[in-house]
Amino acid sequence: MFLLRFVTFLALCSSFSLVRAESLVLLTENLPPFNMSVSGNNFARDANVTGVSSDILRAVCERAQIKCQLILRFPWQRVYQQTLDEPGYGLFSTARTPEREKLFKWVGPIAQNDWVLFARGDSDIRLTSLEDARRYRIGGYKGDAKTQFLLDRGLEVQTSLRDTENVRKLERGQIDLWVASNQAGRFLARQEGMENLKVVQHLYAADLYLALNRQTPDELVQKLQRTLDKLRDEGALKGIEARY
């Protein structure tokens, strides 16, 4: 009798582990049009999290029959560190850089993000190379891969905790250039009432991924990747992108 109870207990534990393995908490921040809160606030959950990447991952989880809770929080560094530290967590939309490669397990790409240097539309700044940007005051988002891209190349960047601060600094002439995503930067600037932007330097075309904690089971990672690939082959991802 004791042996039967023990075997039943082990089976229940194993079943519980499988249930937990098929559940994820996916963290993100406001990075329109890829991920954003419906209200525009810096906290949202599930249906109140929208955007290209959010809708794609929601579709992937639904097709793969994985319970995924979407949570949007601020700032990026907080959710980045939480995903590094806690099993069962993922982070999107994350640029897959060499520095980050071994820190996470990856699913993607889910979208593509063009990194650029913006100037005000009325600026006479002309850059022929990234080296030319050294002469100017550059603003960037603290902890962001685009900011790190410039820092790694020896450029000075004035960092802000909120990227909206960089929009206002650029508009007021407190910085000359702003490193941002071409898509997200224009969206954010419009929200702040600034339409007058121009790209003076293209930096990098970054694929965006879902980054998962290293303890995520490989079987779960592969299941998500297979489902994403299938949805892409079916044309479902283009349909989602078209909505934005």
Does 102 lie in the same domain as 199? no
Q: Which of 133, 71, 90, 107 is nearest to 219 (CA)?
A: 107
The whole-number average pLDDT for the span 98-125 is 96
Considering the domain architecture, whether residues 167 and 214 belong to the same structural domain is answered as: no
Q: Which residue carries 């490989």 as its tokens?
A: 218
User: CB–CB of 43/37 below 8 Å?
Assistant: yes
Q: What is the pLDDT of residues 161-210, one digit of tens each?
A: 999 999 999 999 999 999 999 988 998 899 899 989 999 999 999 899 99
Tell me: do 100 and 198 sit in the same domain: no
pTM of the model: 0.73
108 conformational bin, left if phi > 0, alpha if psi -120 to 50, beta if neither = left
Which of 75-79, 155-159, 187-191 has the highest average model confidence (pLDDT)? Answer: 155-159
> Is residue 12 located within the same domain as residue 49?
yes
Token pair, residue 163, equals 């990227």
Q: What's the CATH number where 164 sits? A: 3.40.190.10
pLDDT at 92: 98
Q: Are residue 69 and residue 144 in the same domain, yes or no? A: no
Pick the closest to residue 31 from 133, 121, 110, 108 (CA basis).
Answer: 110
Looking at the fold, whether 107 and 219 belong to one and the same domain comes out as: yes
What is the Cα–Cα distance from 193 to 179, expressed in whole angstroms?
18
Contacts of 4 (CB under 8 A, 6+ apart): none
Q: How many CB atoms lie within 10 A of CB 154?
A: 8
Residue 83 sits in the same domain as residue 22 = yes
Say if residue 135 is in the same domain as residue 196.
Answer: yes
- Asked if 196 and 217 sit in the same domain, the reply is no
Which range of residues forms the domain containing residue 13? 2-112+208-242
- Tell me how far apart the alpha carbons of residues 143 and 207 are, in angstroms, rounded to a whole number: 18
Q: How many domains does the chain have?
A: 2
- Whole-angstrom distance, CA of residue 185 vs CA of residue 139: 12
Same domain, 118 and 106: no
Give CA–CA dist 112/106, Å, rounded.
Answer: 15
Residue 123 CA to residue 134 CA, distance in Å, equals 16
Res. 65: pLDDT tops 90: yes
Same domain, 188 and 150: yes
Same domain, 7 and 101: yes
What pLDDT score was predicted for residue 115? 95
